Amino acid sequence: MSMIKKIGVLTSGGDAPGMNAAIRAVVRAALRHNLEVVGIRKGYKGLIDGEFVPLASRNVSNIIQRGGTILGTARSPEFRTPEGRQKAYGNLVGASINAVIVIGGDGTFNGAGLFSSEFDIPFVGIPGTIDNDLYGTDYTIGYDTALNTVVEAVDRIRDTASAHDRMFFIEVMGRGAGFIALHSGIATGAEAILIPEVDGQEDSLHDYLKSQGNKSSNIILVAEGNSVGGAEQIAKQIQEKYPEYDVRANVLGHMQRGGSPSAFDRFLASRLGVAAVDALMDNQRSIMVGFVNHDIVHVPFNKTINASKNLNKILLDVADILAH
C-alpha cells in the first residue's frame, strides 16, 4: 500500500492548452483516493519559495476549458543547483507533501528526475508541451490545440495570399522539432515545409521556386528551428533572389500557446491526470505517464529525456506528394 497522504502538483516550462484540464484531473483523482492536494505556484520557483495553495474540488471547477495554467509557470535557475533543490525538499517536508506531479516538457522532467534521485519524494510527470517532441507518448497536452490554431491562421493567410498573388513564409514554433510545421503543412496544403529534421532544404526550396513558373501564391511553413533560417530572414533572401515574387513573412509566435484547449486535449489531459495519480498510488516514481496507441504507458524520466522522438518519414513523402 502507498503511504502517500498529500501530493503537490505544478506546471513548469512553456504553458500549453490543456494544462488546467490536467490540474483538474489530478485534483479530483487524488480526492477520490482521499489524498490532500496542494497546488505549487510558478513551477519549480514556487517549490523553492514555498508558494503552496490547498486545492479542493471547487478550486478546479470551470477550468477545463481555460488555456494557460491557473498555477502559473516560471523559470528557476536556482532549482538547477543542489542548494535550490535542498531548499525545495525542505519546503515539501515542512508541508508534509509526500509526492509531486509535474506537468511540462523535457526540461521539467529533467529537473524532476534529478530531484527524485536525490531525495525520497517520488515525482511523476504529465507531458504538457505544444511541440509534441517527448519520447514515449504519441501526443502531448497542448499539441492538438496548437495545431488547430496554426491551421486556422494559415487558412486566413491563404485567403489574402490568393487575393494578392503573394508568397507567405509562415513561422511556427518548433525550435528542435518539426511536428507542428509538418502536420499543419499537410493539413493546410502548404507548398513547402521547412523543418529541423531535414537537411538540404535550402536547395530544395530554390528548386521548387524555380519550377513554379507563373504561380506566385504560395504558403511555406517554417519551423523556427530549421537550418535555413527564420521566416523573416528567408523571406528577405527570397525576395532579393526572386524579385518576380511578392513575398511576405508572418511569425505566429505565442498565439500558438493560447486559447481554449481542443476536445482532444481536454480528453488527453483528463486521462493523463488520472493516470498520474494512479501511478503514484501504485508506488511508481521518476516516470512520465504517456499515451501510446490510445493506452496509458509509463516511461522512465531518463528515457523520455535522453531518447529522441522521430518524425514519421512517411509523412515527409505525403507532404512532398501533395505539394505538387
User: CA 136 to CA 237: how far, in whole Å?
Assistant: 38
pLDDT of residue 1: 43
Q: Which of 15, 106, 131, 265 is catalytic?
A: 131
The C-alpha cell at 123 is: 515525482
Q: Say if residue 216's pLDDT is above 80.
A: no
Last residue of a domain, one of 257, 284, 318: 257
Q: What is the mean pLDDT of residues 172-196?
A: 92
**Cα four-point dihedral sign 170, 172, 175, 181:** negative
22-34 pLDDT, tens digit per residue, is: 999 999 999 999 9
For the stretch 235-273, pLDDT in tens is 999 999 988 889 999 999 999 999 999 999 999 999 999
Residue 94 has pLDDT above 80, yes or no: yes
Distance CA 218, CA 135 (A): 33
Residue 324 resides in a domain: no
Note whether 279 and 194 are same-domain residues: no
Asked if residue 272 and residue 132 are part of one domain, the reply reads yes
Residue 313 within a domain: no
Separation in Å, CA 269 to CA 139, 203, 297:
10, 41, 14
d(Cα 269, Cα 276) in Å, to the nearest integer? 10
| Res 304: pLDDT | 94
**Residue 58 per-residue DSSP state:** G
Closest CA to 315 of 147, 158, 181: 181
Q: Is the pLDDT of residue 86 over 50?
A: yes
Q: Please report whether residue 161 resides in a domain.
A: yes
CA-to-CA distance for 261 and 195, rounded, in angstroms? 25
CB neighbours of 216 closer than 8 A, spacing ≥ 6?
A: 165, 166, 167, 244, 245, 246
Task: State the Cα–Cα distance between residues 142 and 119, nearest whole angstrom.
Answer: 30
Domain co-membership, 40 together with 123:
yes
Same domain? For 186 and 295 the reply is no
Q: Does 131 qualify as catalytic in the annotation?
A: yes
Interval 161-182: pLDDT, tens? 999 989 999 999 987 889 999 9
What pLDDT does residue 210 have?
78
265: cell is 486535449
What is the pLDDT averaged over residues 4-9?
97
- Provide the residue range defining the domain that includes 52: 6-142+261-306
95-121 pLDDT, tens digit each:
999 999 999 999 999 999 999 999 999
Q: Does 137 share its domain with 44?
A: yes
Pairing of strands 99-104, 218-223: unpaired
- Pair (129, 159) in one structural domain: no
Same domain, 252 and 266: no
CATH number of domain containing 175: 3.40.50.460
**Mean pLDDT over the full length of the chain:** 93
Q: What is the pLDDT of residue 51?
A: 97
| 12 and 123 fall within a common domain | yes
- 58 and 130 part of one domain: yes
Non-local CB neighbours of 96 within 8 Å, separated by 6+ positions: 5, 6
User: Residue 116 and residue 99: Cα distance in Å, rounded?
Assistant: 10
Average pLDDT estimate for 269-289: 97
* Bridge pairing between strands 167-172 and 247-251: parallel
Over residues 289-312, the mean pLDDT reads 94
> In terms of domains, do 163 and 127 share one?
no
Whether 223 is in a domain gets the answer yes
Residue 8: phi and psi, rounded to 5, are -105, 155
User: Does residue 209 lie within any of the structural domains?
Assistant: yes
Q: Sort 251 into a burial class: Cβ within 10 Å, 0-12 / 13-18 / 19+.
A: middle
Asked if residue 64 has pLDDT above 60, the reply is yes
* pLDDT (0 to 100) of residue 215: 63
Evaluate whether residue 320 is within a structural domain.
no
Single-letter code of the amino acid located at 97: I
What is the domain count for the chain? Answer: 2
Instruction: Report if residue 312 sits inside a domain.
Output: no
Is the pLDDT reported for residue 156 higher than 90? yes
Determine how many CB atoms are found less than 10 A away from the CB of residue 54. Answer: 11
Domain shared by 248 and 129, yes or no:
no
Query: How many C-beta atoms surround the C-beta of residue 61 within 10 A?
Result: 10
Between CA 162 and CA 171 the distance in angstroms is 19
pLDDT band at 228 (very low <50, low <70, confident <90, very high): confident
CATH number of the structural domain spanning residue 19: 3.40.50.450
- Estimate to the nearest angstrom the gap between the alpha carbon of 289 and the chain centroid: 15
> Is 15 in the same domain as 107?
yes
The CA distance from 227 to 197, in Å, is 9
CB atoms inside a 10 Å sphere around CB 124? 28
Q: Quick one: what percent of the chain has pLDDT higher than 70?
A: 98
Percent of the chain with pLDDT over 90: 80
* Spatial separation of the C-alpha atoms in residues 84 and 132, rounded to whole Å: 29
Assigned domain for 71 exists: yes
> Which amino acid appears at position 151 of this protein?
V
